[in-house]
Every structure is written in structure tokens, then in C-alpha cells.
Amino acid sequence: MLPDGSTRSLGLSDVAARAGVSHQTVSRVVNGHPNVAPGTRERVQRAIAELGYRPNTAARALVTGSTRTIGLVTSHINQYGPAQTLLGLEKAARAAGYSLSVAILDDDSEVAMREAVDLFVGQSVDAVVALSTYGQAVDALRRFEAPVPLIAVQVGRDDARPTVWVDQEVGAALATRHLLDLGHRTVHHVTGPGDSLEARGRRVGWRRELEAAGAPVPEVLCGDWWPSSGFAAGRELAAMARAARGTADEVTAVFVANDQMALGVLNALCEEGLSVPGDISVVGFDDVPECAYYLPPLTTVRQDFAELGRRGVELVLARLRGEELEADPVLPELVVRASTAPARLMPRAV
């Protein structure tokens, strides 16, 4: 019910009267127009909240040709990186006056990707964001076009499509260099799944940093992002460490491709009677909230998912304005905690 006692639907004019502005100003606020003074925008938003006004999105779409909705196609949402990227995109979209409609795929096939994009186009979304870090989905994206802007997130630089991403190679290099600077002769690596572009990027960055330092490049240990695979890799590392004890090939440092697997590594090394970082230093990747409370707290590489989401939405808005925007990668940072320490000086084998 309106303040005058009537039960008609609320309109822009009602909000305008409450805020003491024109209905055109209310329209600009509702549609996210940038040319509104902050004080005026706040007054209008307060009036909207007080009246409980809800814009008629169907009518607005007919007038403006925009639903102010962005479609997000994603998969593997049970993993930390994709889940946090989704949250970053949703927050950035909301701040820009857009809503995010999400389609979570069961697989990364081209058919599934195309069906999801077609569904969003049928719903008249303004743009589609495709979030996937697996090769099959990225290849699928390169093979089709959409009648709305189609943006890729988190897949690395791609000349075929507007893209925002975190530089995984830089992050892996930071982790590897940190361990080398602590005096470790080399750094072992527990990698993620072979079809993951993030895992590939981290593996490339690790290898390049070792080669640049002239350090030996050990065989990688394979994981699947989950703690159980990290635990298995940790048992294998412990066996390698025992076999090489007292030689020049001692195992003293490992870079693990994500924090969940690093948790498994830490537990396996502890069960095998090895100290972290006394015997082996461990670095993870992602900086999940729990890793500050691992035992010991985990040195890791932090990704700024909020910034990734902000840049993704910024790229979408630029495309909707017909502008070309070259996005720089989001650079990760090293967070040093207690799981890494200087290498112990080992006697050389004679």
C-alpha cells in the first residue's frame, strides 16, 4: 500500500516524489547511469528501499533493450578457484547494477557450452561470461560465436576472445623462487589434473624458474586438486626423502599446486615422521582461508578473485559500449608463513 492509502503498483513517479527528484533521475539511478551525483543517488536508493519499489524488468527491457543481466557459464564449481571467481563476478556485477544468472555444467563439452549460451541468449541476457579452466571448454569457446558479447574468465590470454585471467605462471615462479632463495637445491612439484589449464600454467612457471636458476628439474608428482591425492604424493615424497638422505639429491622442498593437496602433503609427511619445515619446506597455491590454520600455517600464493571478477565485469561493460579493452592479467602474490624455512646444510656424498 502506498502512503496515500492506495494499492496501485509503485512507479518511478512515487520514488521521485519521495526522493524529491525528477522521475528521469530515478530512471538513471535504477538503470545504473553513471551521471548521477552521489548524494542524489543515495537519496533515490533510500526512497526505493523505504517504498519497497521493484523495477519492472520486463517493461524496462522493452524500453532500453537491456535486461541488465549477465549470464555465467561455469563448471567444477565445487573447487575453490571457480567458486571464488563466481563470487567475485557476482559482487562486481551487482555493484555495476547487473544481476548474474548462472548455468553450472555437468561437463565441459562443446555441446553443453553451446546449449548454455543459447539458453542465455534466449533469455535476452546482455552478455555471457564463460568461466572454465579446463582445456576442452576453452577449445569449445574458440569454435563458436554468440550474438551477445562473450567473455572468457580465468583461461589465460586468448587472441580469439576477450579474456581476463590470473597469471598462474607468475604465481608458480614466486613459490619456486622463494624456496630457491631459502637455499634449497631444487623444488619438487605436486601438480593438478593434466587437463586443467591452471595446473599446466603452474607447472610451466615452476619448471621455468628452476631452469632459469640452473637447478635440477625433478619428475612431477600427479594430483587431482583434492587432499587425498596430496596425501598420496606426500607419502611418495617421504619415501624419496628417506632414499636420498645424506646425498646431494636430498628432498627438502616441494611446491604443491593448490592448498587442498598441500594439506594432504602436510599430513602424510607428519605421519611419515618428517618435520615441516625442518625436513621439508612446503608451499601451496590459492590461500584458502583455512591454510593460515594448517599445522604449520601454510606458505602459499594468493589469487585476488575479487579483482578478477571486477575486471571481468569491466570487460563486459566495455564490450556493451562497443569499446575494445585490453585486460592485463591479475598478478598473484606470495604469502609467507611457517611451512617454509632455510634449507639445512647437507654433507655431500663421497
Give the pLDDT band of residue 1 (cuts 50, 70, 90): very low
- pTM score of the predicted model: 0.79
pLDDT value of residue 61? 46
Residues present in the chain in total: 350
Report pLDDT digits (tens) over 206-230.
999 999 999 999 999 999 999 999 9
Residue 340 inside a domain? The answer is no
pLDDT at 350 (0 to 100): 31
Candidates 310, 311, 306, 308; CA nearest to 326 is 311
Q: Are residues 17 and 101 in the same domain?
A: no
Stretch 254-262: mean pLDDT: 98
pLDDT one-digit tens code per residue, 295-324: 999 999 999 988 998 888 888 888 888 887
Please tell me whether residues 260 and 182 are part of one structural domain.
yes
Is it the case that residue 41 has pLDDT exceeding 90? no
Contact 29, 44 (CB under 8 A): yes
Indicate whether 249 pLDDT > 80: yes
Residue 153: give the domain boundaries.
65-166+304-330
Predicted confidence (pLDDT) at residue 239 exceeds the cutoff of 80: yes
Instruction: Please provide residue 23's backbone torsions phi and psi, each rounded to the nearest 5 degrees.
Output: -70, -25
Distance CA(8)–CA(53), nearest Å, equals 12
pLDDT at 58 over 50: no
- Examine the domain organization and report whether 139 and 232 are in the same domain: no
Both 175 and 151 in one domain: the answer is: no
With beta carbons less than 8 A apart as the criterion, state whether 117 and 71 touch: yes
Tell me, what CATH number does 35's domain have? 1.10.260.40
Residue 3: the pLDDT is 54
pLDDT at 33: 67
Does some domain include residue 338? no
The CATH number that applies at residue 149 is 3.40.50.2300
Domains identified in the chain, total number = 3
Task: Using alpha carbons, list the distances in angstroms from residue 199 to 29, 193, 203, 235, 319.
Answer: 43, 6, 6, 21, 29
Does residue 152 sit in the same domain as residue 129?
Answer: yes
Q: Please classify residue 336 by burial: count the beta carbons closer than 10 Å to its beta carbon, then call 0-12 exposed, 13-18 middle and 19+ buried.
A: exposed
Task: Kindly report the average pLDDT of the chain as a whole number.
Answer: 85
Residue predicted with more confidence, 197 or 206: 206
Whether residue 32 sits in one domain with residue 93: no
- Shared domain for 156 and 173, answered yes or no, is no
341 assigned to some structural domain:
no
Residue 6 has pLDDT above 60, yes or no: no
pLDDT at 171: 97
pLDDT surpassing 70 at residue 63: no
User: Greater confidence, 203 or 63?
Assistant: 203
Determine the 3-state secondary structure of 252 from DSSP.
coil
Grid coordinates of 192: 593438478
Q: What is the largest CA-CA distance in the chain?
A: 96
Host H or E run for residue 237: helix 227-243
Q: What is the pLDDT of residue 75?
A: 82
Residues above pLDDT 90, as percent of the chain: 44
88 and 212 housed in the same domain: no
Q: Is residue 254 included in any domain, yes or no? A: yes
**E strand or H helix at 152, and its extent?**
strand 150-153
Contacts of 272-276 with CB under 8 Å at 24 or more apart are 272/234, 272/235, 272/238, 274/238, 274/241, 276/339
Clarify whether residues 142 and 162 are in a common domain.
yes
Q: Is residue 242 very low, low, confident or very high in pLDDT (cuts 50, 70, 90)?
A: very high
- Ranked by mean pLDDT, the top range of 54-68, 115-129, 232-246 is 232-246
339 domain residue, yes or no: no
Whether residue 180 is found in the same domain as residue 112: no
Cell numbers given for 205: 612457471
pLDDT at residue 196, as a whole number: 87
**60 falls within a domain:** no
pLDDT digits (tens, 9 = 90+) for 106-147: 877 778 888 888 888 888 899 998 887 776 666 766 676 778
Query: Could you read off the pLDDT of 323-349 as tens digits, one per residue?
Result: 877 778 899 999 999 999 999 854 443
Give the three-class secondary structure for 163: strand
Residue-wise pLDDT for 161-188, tens only, equals 778 889 999 999 999 999 999 999 999 9
Bridge partners (DSSP) of residue 302 are 286, 333
Distance of CA 271 to the CA centre of its chain: 32
106 with 150, same domain: the answer is yes
Residues 262 and 180 in one domain: yes
Cell 586468448 belongs to which residue?
158
Averaged over 92-113, what is the pLDDT?
Answer: 85
Q: Does the residue 253 lie in any domain? A: yes
